[in-house]
Structure 1
Amino acid sequence: MRGLFHNHHRRERFGRGPFGGHMGGGHRGGHPGRHGGSRIGRFLEHGDLRFVLLALIAEQPRHGYDLIRELETRTGGAYRPSPGVVYPTLSLLDDEGFIQPSAGDTARKLFEITPAGREALEREGPAVKAVFARMAEAAAQSDQTGPRVRRAMENLGSSLRIRLSQGAVTEAQVDAIARAIDEAAAAIERV
């Protein structure tokens, strides 16, 4: 996002990326989402997650797992950050004084935004809104196609489990099953 992004012990200035997001240092990698999101750059550019998490914490105190679930929900399942991305980002926000542990008595560590965090979030407001807009667009697209595709995937899984649980499967049957799945995958790639 516009502004400074803390990367180890350096501070780098980030500019606009080619997809309307922000990027820096040429790095746009991320972690695969549970539902096939191949990289964070689809919704977030490198450094954006920091302020997206801060915005979610500004809405209400949250813990890491809640943030992971909320991002997955807001993208319609297209992006689910790993704990290995979220928890270090929370530590960074805490180190920067943008969040602090909540005084609540819960089993999980809740974080709440600080006045310094609100100021930083206000500066980044337009960029954060743009990220949330991309997430909403992905969720809307997922709502249109997601249920039908998930149903079809569940049908395939059920068919495989039922067929393989019916007793011994010959080598020829295993080859036929694998060939049918490979042909379906190839057909999907051509769509």
Structure 2
Amino acid sequence: MRIHHLHHRLCAKHERHERHGLHGGHNHHEHGGMEGKGRMRRERMFDANDIRLLILHFLSSNNAHGYELIKSIEAIAKGEYVPSPGIIYPNLSLLEEMGLITAVQSDSSKKAWTLTTEGHAELVLQQDHLGHIIAKLESLGVLGDNRRLPEIQRAIHNFKMALNTKLGQSDLPKETLYKIIDTLDQAAKDIERS
């Protein structure tokens, strides 16, 4: 598949940017607490190939700037996943090198992109995989909606407080630890099966 072409080169470039802090603005470590950790895990849910297919998908209906592409992806996930500029812009450059997109004249000073004939052909070849990626993004949006329910927020807060209070005891007997582990395992099974 052509979309994998030059993938290693992009990964090496991205790793250099990571080492030198050249992410183009958005810092993954800006988000504090559990919310930030969740966002960082979601960043890893989509590989570079997934991001490139999403870019092709959005450009198939309209020309767009990099920022507009970020916002389009964020909208499908209802804010639960927001790709950073450090992910979007290198992939735009790679897609242009591959001849799948090209820069077009824009009303503003920002660079806009459009799909080429080759880009349309690649998108047709990748429709099944694209469907899976979009479904994954949409499921994140549902997850976010459910997680924001006040009853869920309260239950999660109570669970964390009880667990942290109990685990914070220095003289916790092993039997109690094993009981906590069993309870957590059973709760996970019950939630999965409900």
TM over 0.5: yes
**Match of residue 70, structure 1, among 64, 72, 91:** 72
Considering only aligned residues, what root-mean-square deviation do their CA atoms show, in Å?
3.3
Letter in 2 for 1:138: L
**8 Å CA contact 1:78, 1:139 repeated in 2:** yes
**8 Å CA contact 2:64, 2:112 repeated in 1:** yes
**8 Å CA contact 2:2, 2:122 repeated in 1:** no
Letter in 1 for 2:120: R
**8 Å CA contact 2:77, 2:138 repeated in 1:** yes
- C-alpha change, 1:54 and 1:183, in structure 2 (3 Å) is same
Higher strand share: 1
**Match of residue 116, structure 2, among 114, 117, 129:** 114
Residue in 2 that maps onto 1:141:
143
Unaligned runs of 5+ residues in structure 1 are 11-30, 153-181
Find the residue that maps to 2:81 and give its secondary structure.
coil
**8 Å CA contact 1:78, 1:142 repeated in 2:** yes
Letter in 1 for 2:136: R
How far is the alpha carbon of 1:65 from its aligned partner? 0.8
Q: For 1:90 and 1:78, how far apart are their aligned partners in 2?
A: 22
Q: TM-score, normalised by structure 2?
A: 0.59
Q: TM-score, normalised by structure 1?
A: 0.60
- C-alpha change, 1:85 and 1:58, in structure 2 (3 Å) is same
User: Counterparts in 2 of 1:14-29, with a 5 A limit?
Assistant: none
Aligned residues: 139
**Match of residue 57, structure 1, among 56, 59, 79:** 59
- C-alpha change, 1:94 and 1:148, in structure 2 (3 Å) is farther
Find the residue that maps to 1:72 and give its secondary structure.
helix
**8 Å CA contact 1:2, 1:127 repeated in 2:** no
Unaligned runs of 5+ residues in structure 2 are 11-26, 155-159, 166-183, 188-194
The C-alpha deviation readout for 1:57-97, integer Å capped at 9, x for no partner, is 11211111111112112112121111111100000011111
Q: For 2:163 and 2:83, how far apart are their aligned partners in 1?
A: 26
How far is the alpha carbon of 1:8 from its aligned partner? 4.3
**Match of residue 126, structure 1, among 91, 104, 128:** 128
Residue in 1 that maps onto 2:50:
48
How far is the alpha carbon of 1:101 from its aligned partner? 1.2
